[in-house]
Amino acid sequence: MQVAQQIRDIITAKLAPAKLEINDDSAKHAGHSGADPRGESHFSVLIVADCFEGQNRVNRQRMVYSALDDLLKNRVHALALKTMSPSEWAQHSGL
């Protein structure tokens, strides 16, 4: 299974996001330290979830890191996170 799909499956199961976008940024880091020659080692992820309501940025990131613990230890080198509650997303996207 592709790493991006594993990220999607885990986040969906553990955080029940209303919106989830995963971008594989690995090609931008090819040849850099930490870049996995197999690819799929650097990701940007947007997660909009109810569980983030009332949580600060650090707690939100801890929730995601906890959910993705095994992947972060063994496969993913870099994860850029944007975490928002649905109300923050509505303001951000102009809904």
73 lies in some domain: yes
- The token pair at 46 is 């947007």
CA distances, 94 to each of 25, 49, 77, 82, 84 (Å) = 27, 17, 33, 17, 14
Domain residue limits at 5: 1-23+56-84
According to the model, what pLDDT value does residue 35 have?
Answer: 52
According to the model, what pLDDT value does residue 92 have?
Answer: 85
pLDDT in tens, 59-77: 999 999 999 999 999 888 8
91 lies in some domain: no
Beta bridge partners of 31: none
**Span 10-37, mean pLDDT?**
80
Domain tally, the chain? 1
Is residue 58 pLDDT above 80, yes or no? yes
2 lies in some domain: yes
